[in-house]
Structure 1
């Protein structure tokens, strides 16, 4: 007889021990017959029991693979009760052997969930089939239970929250809500909500503030059985979640929910730090440019959209850092940032775009006048006393305003124009406000070209000195030259100082240019001094800019120029303005003393246009005052004549010499001689001369 398809193959049965079958039958002949058949089929007989109690004992001591149970046993416990207990206590499959087919008995037997029935008399093929089906079913149940246990442990130990939802539909079949059928412990940990309080409830009940997006997206998965993945914010928990959703069955959706709040908030913090100033917490330059770009694009779409950009730069902020320290300077910047915030609306932007530079973007303004009013309020607030570390400070700022909309494409251009307007404001004085116009841009571009040309001229040594003679007004004898710098143009022409000196001052190029002038003037002085008697009264005057005078190594550089050229320091006169002395009086006094100890004489240039303080004339080691050309050229005015005469008398009373510049007419010369002015220079005597002509002039100085 061919084996049943469910029977184990011959080689498999030889490799593994046979299944052990317990026969429970109170009729011995039937029991022995079944036992013989089992052995013939390749099974091992685990034992023969005639009662339910005996069967339970065997199952407890040596559990078989399967029990063949007679339903009716003569002892007190029948087969049905014995089968029930074996299943409950030992989880061993039971197949009933019976010759009865009454419905009452079968219904009672069915309640024990048997694995099959074998009708007496026993047919060998049916017996084998019943056993194999029962063993296979039980093995499958064990595997399924193990798999369920494995998945249940995974479900309970998941790091991410898991929720099984049931879709709740309205009358039209649209998903209107979701019911939480089951959640895992991770859900409790992530949300802080106990499992017992959420299972069976609707999502709108559990999370009243849930966005419709959640229900729509999860409901779509339940309806279409198409998986999805999304990230969203849940306001009720103030958390961000990454959700992977799929449908395990019709009308259901399972969601694996990962809490990504820390990640997103970390990204937000990183983004904030990337686009905000760490000191003031204001938007930085990058974010400011982004807001400007949006304003430009918005202006293109809306004809009635008006905006303005204010660029603000604090005046003399470096002095605060130098005198009170950078910590105090940082406090000032924070206070200024808070002040600026108070003067704008929530939709406006206040940004720190540089060390002491701020940009203010005003959006949705009614008219350009609104921007001017805001700027003036800021200016007025800055002038109020600010106490930092016990020190009262009074601030001011230059402000430039660009009014939009205009034909801007790049935010950098908008910010650049506001900066240009601010620079014009600062040149006009302290605390000034200027509105940008395109002429300013042209001036800035011209200044940029001049700066580039200055750098090239310095590299290519295109600067030369011209020398204007200085005469004694008493006898018209030559007493010296004033060194004046010129720049040679490629076309052979010359640029006068007025065309480039202010750019050199602003860019710091005045330092190398000043050093060049000093070195060249000393070289000329050294050459000319060799042909002069030691007693000859002759000197060269060199102008020092404020930045050049403020250099710590000024005295050292001057000494080097004198030594390198062999020039006599007593024939060198350095001219500075009054304002240079007053910027840092103590430092100025030390430098002037150092220069005077070398024999160099000191002159005050443009006297009368600055502080004109008698105290500094007495305090500082000064040898000469130079009357500004503005007074000299307009001596037809009675007031100017009085000023010039007063300056001459004042200087002489202090033992100082006086030089008048800009003498252009004989009448001016006559008046100066009448006032007792010592020396003079100007076009009346000679225009500035190049070096070769100046050398010839020395040999024949007559005018």
Structure 2
């Protein structure tokens, strides 16, 4: 009868060929032999009366079930009797010379998989070999030799596995085609050589080849995934299984060695791991890896209370402007260039990460004090302030940095990152292009800011926003020519909240968009009502400020058309005020949008002129009707001679370009007189009238019409 050792070898080879977890020889007399080729299958029981074996025996043909949970060949009874954890099953009946089935050769796995034609052919050869071995006492020597020949041909023809035999001392005695393909040696070159030549030099120096043979001899089997060396000395990742071969008396006859090249799989795994922990654009560690590193630092600091480290949270100031004006491709190039500059600045460390969007984080290990972390932040600010050259463009950026240190009480990475990010936001609100060290009061400010944001969302959807109207007066006749709509927020607990407190927050959160539209609709409705009520003032106009975000919306014109149609206001009585920043940052887009508005007879004004980037010679590019001189210039009239000269030049240029001029912030008679002397047509300011609620504005119109 065939020995247990021979059955072991057959089942192992079946498992390797089919890349399955289990190979099983099941006999109808109730005996079975099974082998787990990889992993721990503890607790997995293979039923000896499995319906799957019965199917194969009954039909006397190969049974392939690539997924036992899905295959329609399995009845409810079959599923009930078959082990639930087995998902993949292939069974081939063992048929003796009388044509009777006396068992099955099966391969199984806990995962569903596909079964290839090459694997099918290999399993059929093995089944024939098992049949011949188990029925050898009924076979002639010729049939036995044919069986052995088929078995050897199978081993020799396997090209994806290096299968060879070693003598007890590790010298090679057989060599198959797969071994020649994987390792590069032909049989005549390698047979008789010691198998240690396949190991890297560092493994040979540690005597690893002899140690693994000893382990295989002692335990029966040794398996590992490790580097191996080809004939040309190139390395490859290998899955290696060494099985000890013993005779019936237990004497060691040698070793069977199966090697598979898994380099591509390893590379794919390494790439997946790299992708999971690194940013695709910059190649830097990503948020996940940075948080993991931060957790390690916090655990170390807990064991060593004197240890101090810092987290820097970097955010690019006005990065959205780069994307919107130069395009996302340039924006991506800027991010990559910043990453490279940071890596150069912090040579030999991987403590830099792209945290997402235009934010980066840096871990400073073992810092001495807050002063050291601040000094490094200052140096980073200076380094990134140098120009970047992207696609033949010179681009300047500034960054805001928040710094948080691991003071007592912090145990979670998210807490430290939160503190650093809060400090960064404080740096932005205080003017950008600077760094800020976190302190406890900042957290309270952040909580208040979050509460303000929540309140603002409620205010927009509720009834808390109010419009005030500041008259625009002719400096020639003294008559009211129109109003500027000014937004106020009447908070139910805090009272009046002024624009300087909530407009920046609205712009940052995107809430400015619904706010803008509410202001536009309400002011158009109100002006139309006054025009109807006071026919002598049908010429009144309403000035409405729209944010740059609103002007960038693709459906802006459609929304304005709808509002004008809803309120019944003629387009010529609406004047939209645009900031300089929008004009200079997006000149082509701005020009196109303004021209479309002009076609609708809507008036256009440039607001707060002189405070932004727009040069005097830039104005001719845009179809503007009105230029509004900022109050910072008006307030210095008669005080600083240079300012008076600048204002006079602005008025003269505006007139030459066919624009009217409105001076904002007039508070004294002297300012009014100078502006009149410069032939400035219109003015706003407390001297003329403070902003009025709608009732007071209506009374002003009524009294003026008498």
Query: How far did residue 426 of structure 1 move?
Result: 5.1
CA distance in 1, matches of 2:367, 2:209: 39
Aligned counterparts, 1:14-33, within 5 A: none
Partner residue in 2 for 1:28: none
CA distance in 1, matches of 2:649, 2:189: 101
Q: Deviations over 1:34-89 (max 9, x none)?
A: xxxxxxxxxxxxxxxxxxxxxxxxxxxxxxxxxxxxxxxxxxxxxxxxxxxxxxxx
Is 1:180 the counterpart of 2:183 in the alignment? no
Partner residue in 1 for 2:694: 691
Query: How far did residue 258 of structure 1 move?
Result: 3.3
Q: Deviations over 1:326-360 (max 9, x none)?
A: 55555554444433332223332343443444444
- Assess, with a 3 A threshold, how the Cα gap between structure 1 residues 537 and 197 changes in structure 2: closer, same or farther: closer
Query: How far did residue 510 of structure 1 move?
Result: 1.5
Is 1:376 the counterpart of 2:374 in the alignment? no
Partner residue in 2 for 1:647: 647
Unaligned runs of 5+ in 1: 1-135, 168-177
Partner residue in 1 for 2:71: none
Partner residue in 1 for 2:574: 572
CA distance in 1, matches of 2:385, 2:256: 57
Superposition TM-score, scaled by structure 2 size: 0.65
Query: How far did residue 517 of structure 1 move?
Result: 0.5
Query: How far did residue 397 of structure 1 move?
Result: 4.1
Aligned counterparts, 1:134-153, within 5 A: none
Query: 1:351 aligns to what SS in structure 2?
Result: strand
Query: 1:638 aligns to what SS in structure 2?
Result: coil
1:240 pairs with one of 227, 238, 241: 238
Query: 2:171 aligns to what SS in structure 1?
Result: strand
Q: Deviations over 1:270-304 (max 9, x none)?
A: 22233333444333333333333333333334456
Query: How far did residue 378 of structure 1 move?
Result: 7.2
Partner residue in 2 for 1:392: 393
Query: How far did residue 387 of structure 1 move?
Result: 5.0
Partner residue in 2 for 1:464: 466
Query: How far did residue 584 of structure 1 move?
Result: 3.1
Query: How far did residue 180 of structure 1 move?
Result: 3.4
Q: Is the Cα contact below 8 Å between 1:466 and 1:485 reproduced in 2?
A: yes
Is 1:542 the counterpart of 2:558 in the alignment? no
CA distance in 2, matches of 1:396, 1:140: 88
Unaligned runs of 5+ in 2: 1-135
Partner residue in 1 for 2:508: 506
CA distance in 2, matches of 1:305, 1:241: 43
CA distance in 2, matches of 1:478, 1:460: 32
CA distance in 2, matches of 1:586, 1:206: 66
RMSD across aligned positions (CA): 4.5
1:485 pairs with one of 484, 487, 490: 487
CA distance in 2, matches of 1:458, 1:187: 74
CA distance in 2, matches of 1:570, 1:661: 22
Partner residue in 2 for 1:80: none
Query: 1:500 aligns to what SS in structure 2?
Result: helix
Query: How far did residue 500 of structure 1 move?
Result: 1.2
2:225 pairs with one of 222, 231, 234: 231
CA distance in 2, matches of 1:597, 1:333: 40
Query: How far did residue 515 of structure 1 move?
Result: 1.3
Aligned counterparts, 1:398-477, within 5 A: 398-406=399-407, 407-425=409-427, 432-472=434-474, 477=479
- Assess, with a 3 A threshold, how the Cα gap between structure 1 residues 625 and 270 changes in structure 2: closer, same or farther: closer
Q: Is the Cα contact below 8 Å between 2:540 and 2:573 reproduced in 1?
A: yes
- Assess, with a 3 A threshold, how the Cα gap between structure 1 residues 166 and 687 changes in structure 2: closer, same or farther: same
Query: How far did residue 662 of structure 1 move?
Result: 4.3
Q: Is the Cα contact below 8 Å between 1:163 and 1:255 reproduced in 2?
A: yes
Partner residue in 2 for 1:268: 270
CA distance in 1, matches of 2:537, 2:690: 27
Superposition TM-score, scaled by structure 1 size: 0.65
Query: How far did residue 400 of structure 1 move?
Result: 1.9
Partner residue in 1 for 2:214: 219
CA distance in 1, matches of 2:535, 2:327: 54
Query: How far did residue 214 of structure 1 move?
Result: 5.8
Q: Is the Cα contact below 8 Å between 1:221 and 1:247 reproduced in 2?
A: no
Q: Deviations over 1:136-185 (max 9, x none)?
A: 99999999978876765565556644566677xxxxxxxxxx63364542
CA distance in 2, matches of 1:145, 1:331: 70
CA distance in 1, matches of 2:245, 2:303: 45
Q: Is the Cα contact below 8 Å between 1:464 and 1:487 reproduced in 2?
A: yes
1:292 pairs with one of 291, 294, 315: 294
CA distance in 1, matches of 2:596, 2:446: 39
Query: 2:356 aligns to what SS in structure 1?
Result: coil
CA distance in 1, matches of 2:155, 2:590: 82
Aligned pair count? 553
Query: 2:698 aligns to what SS in structure 1?
Result: helix
- Assess, with a 3 A threshold, how the Cα gap between structure 1 residues 192 and 536 changes in structure 2: closer, same or farther: closer
CA distance in 1, matches of 2:377, 2:577: 44
Q: Deviations over 1:418-447 (max 9, x none)?
A: 444445555566754444455554444433
Partner residue in 2 for 1:605: 607
More displaced stretch, 335-344 vs 311-320: 311-320
